[in-house]
């Protein structure tokens, strides 16, 4: 697999996102999840993304089990911290990015992951009660101490990126970016290019909406998508109609809808690393096929006609969660 640069960090051109393996889309199979992580590593993926709140630590423990016996320098761990959960494992308590809190969060993550350092460490959301300079300063101290290799951010606006970067170089911004979610294009992406910061793009398949496989009548218990506006009745039918237009472009290109959507994200900038949220080897194999899809200017124009910017209906999160984001849809 080719590599891309997130700031000064060289990583695989695609990364593996772990969230779906820990209940976000309903129950997942433990053995298949571990087999999928193994398949990703064997295919040349080196970047694995997780968060300490995915399954309240379940995801970190699962990843540690899958990585056992692998040389530590053969993979990179990207870890988010700070989302506060209720006992039923639902987020909604906000974000805690105080220096003393993030040091505590990291201690737990290091133990669960079975490692002495993480490669990219980032607050999962902006904490409005803590200046970003304080949070970044604390992460810089952890970098100086060897517990963290690179600073990352997640779901923040252009101004916050500049403020953070002034304290310590930011390697990577993690943010949702797909044919359905293009809010980063106006201000955030230009700032990343200006400052030499990479992007790990999550939600590249619109949480399954533009995977070509989503069935609105087959939602599993615990699948959080049922509570998001883009998947609500009325909106989901319209959004799935966009997939049909995209399917025609994919067929002419000789690839699947998912491969086309992932390749589109990767084609937007050489410093964007799409995160593949596959939880089965079958879906992983399909996603990896996007690496063989080369999009010409004519292809990109045809995709734009099929799914124009702003054509998705519904916000990407419920209203309360949207308020915590630095960028809209």
Q: Which residues are catalytic?
A: 54
Tallying the residues shown for the chain, one arrives at: 329
For 167, counting Cβ atoms within 10 Å of its Cβ (0-12 exposed, 13-18 middle, 19+ buried), the class is: middle
Give the DSSP letter of residue 228: S
Q: How far is Cα 218 from Cα 27, in angstroms, rounded to an integer?
A: 13
| CA-closest candidate to residue 263, choices 272, 168, 161 | 272
Long-range contacts of the stretch 321-328 (C-beta < 8 A, 24+): 321/91, 324/94, 324/95, 324/125, 324/126, 324/155, 325/125, 325/155, 326/126, 326/155, 326/156, 326/157, 326/160, 326/188, 327/155, 327/156, 327/157, 327/175, 327/183, 327/184, 327/187, 327/188, 328/183
Enumerate residues 6+ apart whose C-beta is below 8 A from 102: 81, 82, 96, 123, 135, 138, 139
Distance linking the first and last C-alpha atoms of the chain:
31
């Amino acid at each position: 697999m080719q590599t891309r640069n997130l700031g000064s960090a060289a990583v695989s051109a695609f990364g593996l996102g772990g969230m779906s393996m820990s209940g976000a889309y309903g129950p997942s199979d433990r053995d298949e999840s571990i087999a999928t992580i193994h398949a990703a590593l064997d295919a040349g993926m080196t970047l694995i993304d997780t968060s300490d709140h995915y399954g309240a630590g379940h995801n970190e423990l699962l990843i540690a089990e899958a990585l056992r016996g692998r040389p530590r320098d053969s993979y990179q761990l990207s870890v988010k911290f700070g989302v506060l959960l209720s006992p039923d494992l639902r987020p909604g308590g906000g974000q805690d990015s105080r220096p003393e809190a993030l040091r505590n969060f990291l201690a737990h993550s290091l133990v669960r992951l079975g490692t002495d350092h993480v490669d990219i460490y980032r607050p999962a959301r902006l904490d409005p009660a803590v200046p970003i300079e304080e949070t970044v300063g604390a992460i810089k101290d952890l970098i100086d101490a060897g517990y963290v290799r690179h600073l990352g951010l997640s779901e923040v606006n252009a101004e916050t990126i500049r403020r953070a970067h002034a304290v310590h170089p930011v390697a990577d911004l993690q943010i949702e970016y797909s044919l359905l979610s293009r809010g980063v294009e106006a201000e955030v992406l230009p700032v990343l290019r200006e400052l030499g910061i990479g992007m790990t793009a999550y939600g590249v398949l619109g949480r399954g909406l533009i995977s070509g496989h989503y069935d609105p009548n087959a939602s599993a218990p615990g699948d959080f998508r049922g509570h998001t506006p883009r998947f609500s009745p009325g909106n989901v039918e319209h959004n799935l109609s966009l997939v049909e237009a995209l399917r025609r472009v994919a067929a002419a290109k000789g690839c699947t809808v998912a491969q086309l959507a992932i390749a589109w994200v990767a084609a937007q900038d050489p410093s964007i690393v799409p995160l593949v949220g596959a939880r089965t080897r079958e879906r992983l194999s399909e996603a990896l096929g996007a690496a063989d899809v080369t999009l010409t200017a004519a292809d990109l124009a045809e995709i734009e006609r099929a799914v124009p910017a702003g054509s998705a209906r519904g916000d990407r999160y419920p209203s309360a969660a949207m308020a915590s984001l630095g960028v809209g849809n």
